[in-house]
Chain A
């Protein structure tokens, strides 16, 4: 069998299963699996020597950190779906764990699969009958559409700005070099290399920061802190249960440090939320309750996201009004619960006190849940829910492209250090430019020529 590069992807549907499978295919798939899957004590389990169609037990290690306890299914070419050497790693579900395992696989030599790529390989290697080609074509285009939408959705505004700016800087340098090479009598490159060296160093520094924060993003490790607040019996606990019901893969479950706070960790399509259910807020003479209410207010102040719950079957009361007036517009959502019973609160009623977005839900029937989920995702990806204003890439394929772009910039720096000539700088600079374009969904085409003509007065 000839050599093929090795691709990997999460094979199970996102977000709603107890276990998840990472699929790896290509010439190095077994070697990569062997590198990262070991015994509990970190010793090799000898995957490279195992027969085809065997199942092994082990632990996934990212360097020295154990990520998950897994089963490994091994397939040797041509007896696999793609007819290449393949490995399937069965992990414990939850997007966070799956993503970390996939990340580790990629770090060790695989690349993220393109949409439909496993099926395409199966087709190319004769594993899928030509009569099924219609289905293959449909799958490639629909998966592509899904992944395109998904990745655009997952690109946060601040990151996009950063990438557009970095890309612009790269093109500026390319255009300058090319203008000077094309028209040496009008533009010269004397002393340019040291200027470029400095600029590239800055670009690499910025890129490294983004890569670092993407890998260590607090939201990935710890999650977004979200507080559910509302007066007693507004339906806070039932909302919490509804959210938990969606995401059956609970990462951790721990009792609140006081009996008034209950924390749960859930994942909404890869965004981890630390939900805190607080005590009902109302004026109270009871000392214990007063302490609980104060805690609830404090939590609300320090949370990344506030879900303010109202009981829609009753009119607004003074406690509701106090809550509405106190929540910020930017990072809050107002949920009118119990829309299955009655709708006695209108948007106009709320607008008098708060400008935050409003969603009508029923934690009993599940109505409005998708809207709530989409809204939270939207707030996250548009940076409304802040994470210390840190910027990061959340989509693995995008992060991979970004790392490739940074590596190309390192090659430019390397070329400068090795005193290479200017014409080779653009080779790597344009590679970086192209990779960054992949992240924001823009092609290169004639960008460079356009830029040269726009910025430089060329020719006779």
Chain B
């Protein structure tokens, strides 16, 4: 058998996780090979044609801060962009861009192709190979070639034993008819990895010239476009944008669905996998929210060089004949022609609790897993994991400490922690409410929070890091100046206050106090703030938020201090929970099954009580002490 030993790291899969993982490894000077079942599916967007959105936009900005590619790639290929929730608090502002799917994929493919140290290979991986110490040493392709590597990153997405369902019709393929990977699951299970079955779905694509847009409401992008990447100059990306459209389902649509529910594979019991609740098929919506008279349907172009439009809000696994009737009952779609049918897809994924927070398997050294195959959903969630797995595979080979993100540092940390410390029973999607320190983890300060991680990993240059440090200093300096600057009531000031419906002053006050008022901003006080330095918009934004949300931000910072304390208490890997007699049985079983790395992680496992944690802390102190002696 032929063995190839040219590479340090193999990445299995070239979707959004695989691309980030492969790029990170190669950029950190590891000879890397990325395998894909089809060279045409690199960075494929098989479902929605957008990047970002609520909380997902946060993930992309964080990924960009650490040195990932997704943010830059969408900045190159978007066709409409919008900051969501601008009327709400800064913590929930979220950027979302419509992508030209084709451009997105080919642009990312070019980045991979041009990347030094990185080779792309079209091949299906069927086996992972480990040595007698349960350390990874290679992978094997379907054609029988063995690649000897020191680390493997699984980014298999929805391809493991995938099957697509459209009513009674079942095909054993990945998305878009792409070849499924049918052998790797068995190899993983042979290595003791636990597998589960999930499902997700996608709506139909409809031909542009069969849509009557006059019956729909147009949806526009922002006038001033905000880039995803901290490295993109906003001036470089202002361009003409496409329109999306909004229409609604109606009672007729719902009747068609209700009358054909028995033909839906989910309701007929054909589907075994668990689907996500947050991304329900139109069947689910009609059944679960029976009292809703209509559901929103967004029409979004798949790109500017194609006629295909994506029907956001109507994913389905009903048979084709029902789909045609169902879509045609929607205003504007009366004469629509379906280019691609909606379908549901089922696939194998691993149980996330088997992974460390570096995304390395706890029981197989050198084997990592990232993306949808860890039980998440969404391009952004996948990419974020890919980056972290890539960085840490390199750290492992270099025998350096891991670079990880915890729950208090970023959504990436929340995502990975949730995946690895909870029993996931459905594909996991990010939400801002999952982040307990949401006011600290804003999309606007992702660079301040995470650039240093990227710098530490080696993906961020010294100049980029210096820029963030300077920004930080400028923000602090300006806040101190505002705290120290007193203004006394003057006609000019009180006129400004009156203009903003703010109470006029009778005595002196600091500028900070004025900015704290909900009706005033930093910019409003320009004319009475004589010594104001010239600052960039992003510094001003941070100053404004820092002052207005001070109370909440400080409170969350205190909570973070407590959180960090528990997070830093590590649990020795060889701990024998049966020896900790005072822990309740339920908690002991959970701890044995999850093998948490820190007390913090242990405290988040369902079924482990605060008292169990206290007992565990005492126990660990004792065994560490015994070890010293």
Hey, which chain B residues are within 8 Å of A116, CB to CB? 611, 614
Taking a contact as CB atoms under 8 Å apart, the answer to whether B88 and A181 are in contact is yes
Given contacts A421-B89, A457-B292, is CB(A182)–CB(B431) below 8 Å? yes
Which of A36-44, A184-192, A313-321 binds B? A184-192
Hey, which chain A residues are within 8 Å of B312, CB to CB? 460
Contacts of B375-421 to chain A: CB distance below 8 A? none
Any B CB within 8 A of the CB of A178: yes
Hey, which chain A residues are within 8 Å of B89, CB to CB? 420-424
Hey, which chain B residues are within 8 Å of A130, CB to CB? 621-622, 625-626
Taking a contact as CB atoms under 8 Å apart, the answer to whether A137 and B580 are in contact is yes
Give the distance in Å from the alpha carbon of A460 to the alpha carbon of B315 in the complex: 7
The one of B277, B434, B618 that contacts A123, using a Cβ cutoff of 8 Å? B618
Any B CB within 8 A of the CB of A48: no
Contacts of B279-329 to chain A: CB distance below 8 A? 279-280, 285, 288-289, 292, 295-296, 298, 312-313, 315
Taking a contact as CB atoms under 8 Å apart, the answer to whether A426 and B433 are in contact is yes
Given contacts A184-B54, A459-B279, A460-B48, is CB(A133)–CB(B88) below 8 Å? no
Given contacts A133-B622, A137-B619, is CB(A427)–CB(B552) below 8 Å? yes
Given contacts A144-B611, A420-B89, A449-B431, is CB(A137)–CB(B618) below 8 Å? yes
Hey, which chain B residues are within 8 Å of A453, CB to CB? 277-278
Given contacts A114-B610, A137-B618, A185-B298, is CB(A178)–CB(B552) below 8 Å? no
Any A CB within 8 A of the CB of B432: yes
Taking a contact as CB atoms under 8 Å apart, the answer to whether A140 and B582 are in contact is yes
Hey, which chain B residues are within 8 Å of A427, CB to CB? 438-439, 552, 555-556
Contacts of A116-149 to chain B: CB distance below 8 A? 116, 120, 123, 130, 133-134, 136-138, 140-142, 144
Hey, which chain A residues are within 8 Å of B582, CB to CB? 137-138, 140-142
Give the distance in Å from the alpha carbon of A445 to the alpha carbon of B605 in the complex: 9
Any A CB within 8 A of the CB of B485: no
Hey, which chain A residues are within 8 Å of B85, CB to CB? 181, 184
Hey, which chain A residues are within 8 Å of B296, CB to CB? 185-186
The one of B47, B277, B552, B614 that contacts A424, using a Cβ cutoff of 8 Å? B552
Contacts of B597-629 to chain A: CB distance below 8 A? 606, 609-612, 614-615, 618-619, 621-622, 625-626
Hey, which chain A residues are within 8 Å of B625, CB to CB? 130
Taking a contact as CB atoms under 8 Å apart, the answer to whether B433 and A178 are in contact is yes
The one of A178, A184, A418 that contacts B84, using a Cβ cutoff of 8 Å? A184
Given contacts A189-B88, A427-B439, A459-B278, is CB(A452)–CB(B433) below 8 Å? yes
Taking a contact as CB atoms under 8 Å apart, the answer to whether A181 and B611 are in contact is no
Any A CB within 8 A of the CB of B586: no
Give the distance in Å from the alpha carbon of A140 to the alpha carbon of B622 in the complex: 15
Contacts of A97-129 to chain B: CB distance below 8 A? 114-116, 120, 123
Given contacts A424-B439, A427-B439, is CB(A459)–CB(B280) below 8 Å? yes
Give the distance in Å from the alpha carbon of A277 to the alpha carbon of B410 in the complex: 68
Hey, which chain A residues are within 8 Å of B583, CB to CB? 141
Min distance, Cβ A281 to any Cβ of chain B, angstroms: 51
Taking a contact as CB atoms under 8 Å apart, the answer to whether A423 and B611 are in contact is no
A-B pairs with beta carbons under 8 A, tally? 129
Taking a contact as CB atoms under 8 Å apart, the answer to whether A136 and B618 are in contact is yes
Any B CB within 8 A of the CB of A443: yes
Any A CB within 8 A of the CB of B184: no
Any B CB within 8 A of the CB of A458: yes
Hey, which chain A residues are within 8 Å of B84, CB to CB? 184-185
Given contacts A137-B581, A189-B88, A427-B552, is CB(A182)–CB(B54) below 8 Å? yes
Min distance, Cβ B436 to any Cβ of chain A, angstroms: 8
Q: Mark B118-136, 1 if CB is under 8 A from A, else 0.
A: 0000000000000000000
Hey, which chain B residues are within 8 Å of A137, CB to CB? 580-582, 615, 618-619
Any A CB within 8 A of the CB of B194: no
Min distance, Cβ A451 to any Cβ of chain B, angstroms: 10
The one of A140, A185, A422, A443 that contacts B614, using a Cβ cutoff of 8 Å? A140
Taking a contact as CB atoms under 8 Å apart, the answer to whether B91 and A423 are in contact is yes
Residue ID in chain A nearest B50 by CB atoms: A460
Give the distance in Å from the alpha carbon of A136 to the alpha carbon of B582 in the complex: 10
Hey, which chain B residues are within 8 Å of A422, CB to CB? 88-89
Hey, which chain B residues are within 8 Å of A452, CB to CB? 278, 431, 433
Any B CB within 8 A of the CB of A356: no
The one of B54, B518, B614 that contacts A419, using a Cβ cutoff of 8 Å? B518
Residue ID in chain A nearest B219 by CB atoms: A185
Give the distance in Å from the alpha carbon of A140 to the alpha carbon of B619 in the complex: 12
Hey, which chain B residues are within 8 Å of A186, CB to CB? 296
Q: Mark B439-462, 1 if CB is under 8 A from A, else 0.
A: 100000000000000000000000
Residue of A136, A174, A421 most packed against chain B (CB within 10 A) = A421
Hey, which chain A residues are within 8 Å of B289, CB to CB? 457
Hey, which chain B residues are within 8 Å of A418, CB to CB? 518
Any B CB within 8 A of the CB of A359: no
Given contacts A422-B89, A457-B295, is CB(A133)–CB(B611) below 8 Å? no
Residue ID in chain B nearest A444 by CB atoms: B436
Min distance, Cβ B92 to any Cβ of chain A, angstroms: 5
Residue ID in chain A nearest B285 by CB atoms: A457
Residue ID in chain A nearest B587 by CB atoms: A141
Hey, which chain B residues are within 8 Å of A197, CB to CB? none
Hey, which chain B residues are within 8 Å of A340, CB to CB? none
Give the distance in Å from the alpha carbon of A142 to the alpha carbon of B203 in the complex: 55
Hey, which chain A residues are within 8 Å of B518, CB to CB? 418-420
Any A CB within 8 A of the CB of B549: yes
Any A CB within 8 A of the CB of B584: yes
Min distance, Cβ A148 to any Cβ of chain B, angstroms: 8
Residue ID in chain B nearest A415 by CB atoms: B552
Taking a contact as CB atoms under 8 Å apart, the answer to whether A419 and B519 are in contact is yes
Any A CB within 8 A of the CB of B117: no
Any B CB within 8 A of the CB of A217: no
Taking a contact as CB atoms under 8 Å apart, the answer to whether B584 and A448 are in contact is no
Give the distance in Å from the alpha carbon of A178 to the alpha carbon of B436 in the complex: 13
Hey, which chain A residues are within 8 Å of B549, CB to CB? 424
Hey, which chain A residues are within 8 Å of B369, CB to CB? none
Point out residues on A near B: beta carbons under 8 Å.
114-116, 120, 123, 130, 133-134, 136-138, 140-142, 144, 174, 178, 181-186, 189, 418-424, 426-427, 443, 445-446, 448-449, 452-454, 457-460
A130-B622, A137-B580, A137-B618 given; 5 more Cβ-contact pairs under 8 Å: A137-B582, A141-B584, A178-B432, A185-B298, A423-B439
20 A–B contact pairs at CB < 8 A?
A116-B611, A120-B614, A130-B622, A133-B619, A140-B582, A140-B611, A140-B614, A140-B615, A140-B618, A174-B433, A181-B433, A422-B89, A424-B549, A426-B433, A427-B552, A453-B277, A454-B277, A457-B292, A459-B280, A460-B312
